[in-house]
Amino acid sequence: MIIDIHGHYTTAPAPVGAWRDLQVAFAKGEGTAPDPASLSVSDDQIRESIENNQLKLMNERGSDITVFSPRASFMAHHIGDLEVSKTWARMCNDLVARVSQLFPERFLMGAMLPQSPGEDPATSIPELVRAVEELGAVTVNINPDPSAGRWTAPAITDRSWYPLYEKLVEYEIPAMIHVSSTCMPNVMHTTGDHYLNADTTAFMQLIRGGDTLFRDFPDLKLVIPHGGGAIPYHWGRFRGLAMALGKPELEEYIWNNVFVDTCVYHQPGIDLLTNIVPVDNVLFASEMIGAVRDIDPRTGHYFDDTKRYVDATANFTDAQRQQVYEGNARRVYPRLDRALTARGL
């Protein structure tokens, strides 16, 4: 089985975006707050949005299951206040839950959290509980920068995050550390400079404080997406910085709790990642349909067809490849494993 742990509902039916536009206008002081009940999306609209997009490509590329969460750039936690975020998160989570209900053999739900700049991370716990207990979420996305590029939030190792982490550990839920959109004029490409900068920044926060965090939460599982940002290319720098900060050897306090995915869109990148990151810490993913949607003219294949790169790398044995495709996801995402087992998969 091939499990893709990183997919987003980037093809949601048009009424979803139209409703959000009204909510964004309200947050800017224009008009009234739209009623969540006014959003009408039929099952047929959801089926069409999935069958003609994600499911079509999954079938063509040979992946079996996708962990599916709301569109990351649409989380936009900096828009409005906490109540705006709560409403939007609830609606987006309900929508991806419907996808997993309509395609139970192909999609498992991941949830967004209703974060908001300046708000205590614990305010997200009620929606986490609802997503897990009522909707069947197997993971959540945590935004380390709800301020959309200003980085006003405490580092993800700060104790203010601890109540949320306690709940994640209780539920056996790994968290993907995933930012959303950006409002900074010189860092304006959401899936380019903002995402990749954020992945590296989050990992650097874990270097500075991860030894304490993971001592306090030895069972906490965090996923750094998009190949871990600069992790593979600058592993030597990160090790040296950890030493300069008086930390233990980096491998001693990172790889028990931190994982990276394979959302890297060329063969040399995957080869480097799989040479540096231990095989136990690599999770197959494509982010499809996401950041890069075109065909690479050099190969004739889609950039985000990451299975091709994992298949081709010489760094894995066949057994290790299957570990990346399935075994690691089942181990790191216990609720995913139980859900698949319950379905006979």
Catalytic residue positions, numbered: 287
Rounded distance, CA 220 to CA 218, Å?
Answer: 6
72 with 179: CB under 8 angstroms?
yes
Tell me the pairing of strands 139-142 and 107-112: parallel
Beta-bridge partner residues of 258: 222
User: What DSSP string describes 229-282?
Assistant: TTTTTTHHHHHHHHHHTTPPPHHHHHTTTEEEE----SHHHHHHHHHHS-GGGE
Rounded distance, CA 104 to CA 107, Å?
Answer: 6
Unique residue bearing structure tokens 């709560």:
86
Instruction: Tell me the chain's radius of gyration from C-alpha atoms.
Output: 19
Centre a 10 Å sphere on the Cβ of residue 340 and count the other Cβ atoms it contains: 21
User: What DSSP string describes 15-76?
Assistant: HHHHHHHHHHHHHTTSSPPPPGGG----HHHHHHHHHTTHHHHHHHHT--EEEEEE-HHHH-
Question: What count of residues does the chain have?
Answer: 345
User: What DSSP string describes 76-130?
Assistant: -TTSS-HHHHHHHHHHHHHHHHHHHHHSTTTEEEEEE----TTS-GGGGHHHHHH
- Angle in degrees, CA 175, 342, 96, rounded to 5: 45
Rounded distance, CA 183 to CA 205, Å?
Answer: 22
Rounded distance, CA 289 to CA 103, Å?
Answer: 17
